[in-house]
Every structure is written in structure tokens, then in C-alpha cells.
Amino acid sequence: MDTKMIGNKIAVARKKINMSQAGLAAHVFVSAQAVGKWERGESLPDVITLNQLAKILGVDLNYFSENQQPPEDVRLYKVAANGDVDQTKQEIADPSDPGELQLLTNFSGSDLVKSDFAGVKAHKSKFNGSALRGSDFTKADLTGSSFSGSDIRAANFEEANLTVCTLSVSDLTEARFNKAILVRTEFSRSALTGAKFSNAKLIDVKLTKTDLRQTIFENCVFDGVDFNYSDLSGLCFDKQVFTGVKFHNSALTDVSFNGATLNCVSFRSPYALTNRYYRAIKTIRFDDAMMDKLTYATLKGLGADLSKVTFI
């Protein structure tokens, strides 16, 4: 990490809004001497302070990247005497610029409650053991990132790219995934109570060993999804599309697939076939569903009510 480059960028952005070192120091609760050391490249602010600096200086976190555009090409703000931040200029750099690189990749153990990560590019970043409750990841590119043991309650992942991301042993209560890009994403042993997946296509996603009883799925397409050892009891999958999906070792009592399309979908008991498993399968609703003949045969053999099913 180039401390001199970061220090120079702090100085340039600070001068652009006519703020003194002492003034900037007061906003982030450090001494003016500390700001001086940052700008001379003698030390670096920690990740939380850097996030605060980005907001105060009116720049995106990516501004501190080595190849990011100078502050005259990014959104700038003026900090008033009362601490309010007013926008003074808006010239946003092209986010598709191939020179745009992420600076920070390890946010583990950080207090980032309600942080603004909207639109950032953060490939292979680590958010392990972090407080991210209420954070905004709208349209962020988080490809290959990991969220393990983190508090991600009420976070917004709308249109975020979560390709090859791992979210394990994390609290995702009431998190939102509207139109999120979910390709080979792994959710494991995480809390998804009230979490909402809407208008999304889940491709080769794993939702394993997870309690999904109060998770919401609306207008989704499931392609190659694995629900191994998850509890789906009471879920509504009405009018959604399932291709190559595995419901192996899953709890499926009172699940609804009314009007859904099921093609090459596999159902397998967690143990040897028992009366309890048969009873659970009989509670699943398939009214007006469409399915291929192999899926139909599997469910028929398990005793499912397929009286209102049609073939694809």
C-alpha cells in the first residue's frame, strides 16, 4: 500500500474544499499532527477513518486507489461550519474505466455499520467478523468476496454482483437481494430471517445448512441451486422457475410450488425413506405447476399430490 500516494490524495482533496489540516482533524477526531503525518506518507489512517475521510472530502473510497482519477473528476462536497455536507460539483468518473482499482481488500473486524459501499468495485475483499448492519452495497461489484461471521442485518445488495462470494455463519436478517447477481454464491449456516430475494436469477448457488423458513423469494429463477440440509418449511415458491435444483436432505413441510415450473429437479430424503418424510412430501402444494416427466415420476413415487400438475 503506497502511503505517500494516499497521503498526497488526502492533501489534494482537502485543499480542493479549502479545509485546513486542523479542520479535517476535528471531523475525524484526531490531531492535526496525525493528518500531517498521513499527508507526508509517514502513516496511514485505519479503514474506519479512511471511510470517514471519503465522506468528508466528498470522494468515493476508490479515489484512494493508485490509478483512480484526481478529485476534480469525482464528486466533491463542501463541508460547512456546522458539519453539514453540501454538494458543490458532480463530475463522476466512468466506473468502467479499466484503470479503476480497489485499494482496500480487508475489512475484517471493522465497525462499518450503515457504511456506503454503493457502486464500489471490491473484488476478493474480506468482510469477516465485521459489523455491516444497514450498509448499502447497491450495484457494488463484490466478486469473490467473503462475509464470514459478520453482522449484515438489513444490508442492501440490490443489483450487487455477488459472483463466487461466500456468506457463512453470518446474520443476514432482513437483507435485500433485489436483482442481485448470484452466480456460484454460497450461503452457509447463516440467518436469513426476513431476507428478501426478488427478481433475481440464482445460478449454481448453494444455500446449505441454513434456516430459510422466513426467507422471501419472489419472481426468482433457480438454476442448479443446491438446498442441501436446509429448512424450507412453509416457504412460498409460487410461479418461480427451477432447473437442475437439488432439494436433498431438506425440510419441505408445507412448501408451496403453485404455478411453478420444475425441470430436472431432485428430491432426496435426509435419511432412509420414513413415514415422516412421506408425510412431509404430501404437504407440498403443486397446484397448476408444470414439470418434466422425470421430476413428476420422482414426486409421484414419494406420494406427492400431483393431481393438478401438467407436463412441460
pLDDT tens-digit map of 14-29: 888 788 898 888 777 7
Contact between 235 and 256 under an 8 Å Cβ cutoff? The reply is yes
Report the range of poorest mean pLDDT among 22-36, 167-181, 237-251, 254-268: 22-36
pLDDT of residue 278: 85
Write down the pLDDT at residue 103. Answer: 46
How does pLDDT run across 195-246, given as a tens digit for each residue?
999 999 999 999 999 999 999 999 999 999 999 999 999 999 999 999 999 9
Position 171 scores a pLDDT of 94
Any idea how long the chain is? 312
Task: Report whether pLDDT(11) > 60.
Answer: yes
Angle in degrees, CA 168, 174, 177, rounded to 5: 75
Most confident of 45-49, 118-122, 240-244: 240-244
State yes or no: pLDDT of 296 exceeds 90.
Answer: yes
Its pTM stands at 0.68
Q: What is the mean pLDDT of residues 9-17?
A: 88
Buried b (16+ CB within 10 A) or exposed e, 54-76: bbbbbbbbbbbbeebbebeebbb
Those residues with Cβ within 8 angstroms of residue 96's Cβ, 6 or more apart along the chain or in another chain: none
Q: Distance of CA 190 to CAs 169, 175, 179, 208, Å?
A: 5, 12, 20, 9
Residue type, 230: S
Residue 307 burial (CB count, 10 A): 7
Q: Give the pLDDT confidence of 171-191 residue by residue, as tens digits.
A: 999 999 999 999 999 999 999
